[in-house]
Amino acid sequence: MAEKLGTGAENTWCPGCGNFGILNTMKNVVEKLEEDDIGREKLLISAGIGCHAKIFDYLNLSGLYSIHGREIATIQGMKFANPDLKVIGFGGDGDAYGEGLSHLIFAAKRNADITMIVHNNSSYSLTTGQMSPTSEKGYKGPSTPEGSIEEPLNPLMVMLSAGASFVSRGYAGKIEHLTDLIVEAVEHEGFSLVDVLQPCVVFHDDQYQKYNQAVEILKEPAETKYEAMELTEKTEKLPIGVFYKEDKPVYHEEIYPDLNVVEDKINKDERREQIEEILKEKA
């Protein structure tokens, strides 16, 4: 099965790129979801623009290759239109935490039933390594030759503040752990974020080494949102796993508890009768 998940498209990531770990993880994820009766025909993917997004071409799954930061809105559209589908968005850190941050915050706020996987490599790599929202202070890139003067964003803190019902972090170097994490995120009813530490071998030095030493697996989610927030502030050790999880009403079900506007589409005659009613009421 796993082979069929490739498309045959030429892979153009740099050798050793952390994105390979995420691609391999996704192939495992699809198989595991199928074991849980979520067939791949029901999966839709989207991606933004950047190195991360090439995963769209490499995974033989249906979807829409979106634009920078907008994949978060794209997958919400897919989900609202047909809630029977499971939707997964791939974003980069520039993409989801920069250009598309407002979409991410509001998707969390409304608890849209989507999964966002953010390939967080702390640089704009495809555009030659400029600083990104999560680059460390002092990061040197072509737009910040003297080093970034901005503090990095703490995206998990932002997500917790926005009311995200599933907030997690994984590591592209720990495929088994990341597989289970993404499966759990996809199966979570409501908004889920998986921030993935994704080493960039060109614009950062030794990120694999750093992450291999720093990551520590969380045994279970924090009990409260505030404890989860504290976890996101850790920098010496980097917790990976589910930081926070809660059950909340899901956006599309709050609009229509039982109606799928595509699958249960109103028929032509019924719609027209409704319109005739509206016309008559005013006549």
Partner 1 sequence: MTEKPFPFKPFIICIGEMMSEIFTYIIGGKAGEGVKKAGAAAANLFSKMGRKTFKMDDYQSLIRGGHNFSAVSTSIDDIYSHYMEADLIVNLDDRSYDLHKDHLKKDGLMIYNSGDTENGEGIGLPIDDLSEEYSKSDLIKGVTGIAVLSAVIGLEKDELENLIEKEYSRGVDENLSFAEEIYDLAEEKIDNRFTLEEGDDDSPIFSGNEALSLGAASAGLDMYIGYPMTPASSILHFFAAHKKDLQIMPIHPENEISVANIAVGATMPGARVMVGSSGGGLALMEETISLAGMTESPVLFVLASRPGPSTGVPTYTEQGDLNFALNQGHGEFPLVVASPGSMEEAFYLAGEMLDLLWEYQTPGIFLTEKHLSESSMNIDVDPSSVAWAEPKKFEDDSDEYKRYEMTDDGVSPLKFPPSEDVIKWNSYENDEKGITTEDPVKITKMHDKRRTKNEKLIVDMKEKETVNHFGNSGPVIFTYGSTTMSVREALRAGKIEAKIVQPKYLKPFPFWELEEYMDQDVIVVEQSSTGQFASLLREKCNIIPKTVIRKYDGRPFEPIELAEKLKEAI
Q: Is 279 in the site for partner 1 (CB under 8 A)?
A: yes
**146 or 277: whose CB is closer to partner 1?**
277
- Taking alpha carbons only, the member of 155, 156, 163 closest to residue 218 is 156
Q: Is 185 in the site for partner 1 (CB under 8 A)?
A: no
Instruction: Please give the biggest Cα pair distance in the chain.
Output: 74
Q: Is 162 in the site for partner 1 (CB under 8 A)?
A: no
Instruction: For residue 10, give both structure tokens.
Output: 């030429």
- Taking alpha carbons only, the member of 99, 109, 121, 102 closest to residue 19 is 121
Cα separation of 245 and 191, whole Å? 10
For the purposes of burial, counting CB atoms within 10 Å of the CB of 112, is it exposed (0-12), middle (13-18) or buried (19 or more)?
buried
Segment interacting with partner 1 (CB under 8 A) among 24-32, 138-146, 166-174, 253-261: 253-261
Q: Is 259 in the site for partner 1 (CB under 8 A)?
A: yes
Instruction: For residue 48, give both structure tokens.
Output: 């933004």
**150 or 270: whose CB is closer to partner 1?**
270
Q: Is 230 in the site for partner 1 (CB under 8 A)?
A: no
Q: Is 278 in the site for partner 1 (CB under 8 A)?
A: yes
Instruction: Give the interface size with partner 1 as a residue count (CB under 8 A).
Output: 55
Q: Is 256 in the site for partner 1 (CB under 8 A)?
A: yes
- Which single residue is written with the structure tokens 């039982």? 258
**Quick one: CA dihedral 56, 57, 63, 64, positive or negative?**
positive
* Binding to partner 1 in span 39-68, by CB under 8 A: 39, 41-42, 44, 46, 49, 54, 56-57, 60-67
**107 or 178: whose CB is closer to partner 1?**
107
Using an 8 Å Cβ cutoff, are 95 and 50 in contact? yes
**70 or 174: whose CB is closer to partner 1?**
70
CB of 120 to partner 1, least distance (A): 22
Sheet strands (E) in the chain: 43-47, 63-65, 86-92, 115-120, 166-171, 192-197, 215-217, 238-245
Residue 268's φ and ψ, nearest 5 degrees, are: -55, -45
* Binding to partner 1 in span 9-28, by CB under 8 A: 9
CB of 28 to partner 1, least distance (A): 19
Segment interacting with partner 1 (CB under 8 A) among 99-107, 118-126, 203-211, 232-240: 99-107
Cα separation of 58 and 124, whole Å? 20
Between 175-187 and 19-35, two packed helices, what is the crossing angle to 10 degrees?
50
Q: Is 126 in the site for partner 1 (CB under 8 A)?
A: no
Residue choice 6, 7, 234, 254 for contact with partner 1 (CB under 8 A): 7
Footprint on this chain of partner 1 (rule: CB under 8 A): 7, 9, 39, 41-42, 44, 46, 49, 54, 56-57, 60-67, 70, 73-78, 80-82, 84-85, 102-103, 105-106, 255-256, 259, 261-262, 265-266, 268, 271-272, 274-283
